[in-house]
Amino acid sequence: MTTHGTSPIDADTDDDGLGDGDEVTTHGTSPIDADSDDDGLGDGDELGRGTDPLDADTDDGGRSDGDEVNIDNTDPLNAADDLADTDGDGATDYAETTELGTDPNDPDSDDDGASDGDEAYDLGTDPLNPDSDADGLNDGDEVSAGTDPLNPDTDADGLNDGDEVSLGTDPLDSDSDDGGVSDGEEAQNGTDPLDPSDDLDDGDDSGLLDSGIAKGGGGCDCATAEGPDPAAVAPILALVGLALSRRRRR
């Protein structure tokens, strides 16, 4: 004979809202334990909500049924709204395993210095790719440096951010030496993007190199002498002509 430890004079020994007989023969729950799965919700309450009184996390979303109802105010039958975040990276376990493909036990699945949650929801970078814009710098390093992890050439100077770091130029300044030629152009021309004195002329008519040095060596500042004003000379010429004509008549 099986004994359950229930009270022969109490139809619901554990006061969970289910009769002892129903718990044993129908539901499979314990008639002497009001919360058979220890999830924080009584067996009777779970059946009323549609959750499983024998499964602490009915929707397998990472949070117990009791925590969802009593703490999070989420739906214990909807895994997508579970707030469990085992690795504390800002992405729920459910999202990491079913949507992002990241590791719910590793806050930085691609080891780039930016957390999975930040990459997925704030930065827009790929939490599975350490260098989302393929510029040679990890996403986390770009965030720290102030460059754009989604733009390989943040300052639009023709050099990738990673190349600039390697060269020692500033990936946030298109003309690191302020010589008048962009870092990318200097790299292409073979000049030093960290030396303003070698910046090459860009072909304008200013008479100056982009560095500010005058063209043609000495750069003489002499002015060319201007001729007389034609309007002022005309009367004098007229008088000279008149005098010559009178001489001829004599």
Note whether residue 240 is domain-resident.
no
**CA contacts within 13 A on the Cβ side of 192:** 5
Q: Per-residue pLDDT averaged across 54-70, rounded? A: 93
Please report whether residue 190 resides in a domain: no
Q: What is the pLDDT of residues 155-207, one digit of tens each?
A: 999 999 999 999 999 999 999 999 999 999 999 999 999 999 999 755 555 54
Q: Give backbone dihedrals phi and psi of 80, rounded to 5 degrees, phi first.
A: -65, -20
Mean predicted lDDT score pLDDT of the chain: 86
Domains held by the chain: number: 1
pLDDT, tens digit (0-9, with 9 covering 90-100), for 104-118: 999 999 999 999 999
pLDDT at 1 over 70: no
Record the pTM: 0.61
Contact criterion met (CB below 8 Å) for 16 and 44: yes
Q: How far, in Å, CA of 155 to CA of 199, rounded?
A: 19
- What's the token pair of residue 110? 């691609």
Please check whether residue 198 lies inside any domain of the structure.
no
* Lowest mean pLDDT across 26-30, 103-107, 162-166, 211-215: 211-215
Residue 130 has pLDDT above 90, yes or no: yes
Domain of residue 32, residue span: 20-81
| Model confidence at 216: pLDDT above 70 | no
Question: Residue 84: its pLDDT value, please?
Answer: 87
Cross-strand pairs, 150: none
Please tell me the predicted confidence (pLDDT) of residue 203: 54
Q: Is the pLDDT reported for residue 230 higher than 90?
A: no
Tokens for 91?
A: 């992405």
Residue 228 pLDDT more than 90? no
Q: Is the pLDDT of residue 139 over 70?
A: yes
Beta bridge partners of 208: 214
57 inside domain: yes
38 found inside a domain: yes
Q: Supply the pLDDT for residue 3.
A: 77
Tell whether 216 is covered by a domain. no
- Is residue 111 assigned to a domain? no
Q: What does the DSSP 8-state code read for residue 198?
A: G
pLDDT at 134: 98
Query: How much is the pLDDT for 147?
Result: 98
Is pLDDT above 60 for 65? yes
Q: What is the end-to-end Cα distance of the chain in Å, rounded?
A: 167
Long-range contacts from 6-10, C-beta under 8 angstroms, 24+ separation: 6/31, 6/32
3 state SS of 2: coil
Q: Is 247 part of a structural domain of the chain? A: no
- The H or E element spanning position 236 is helix 230-249
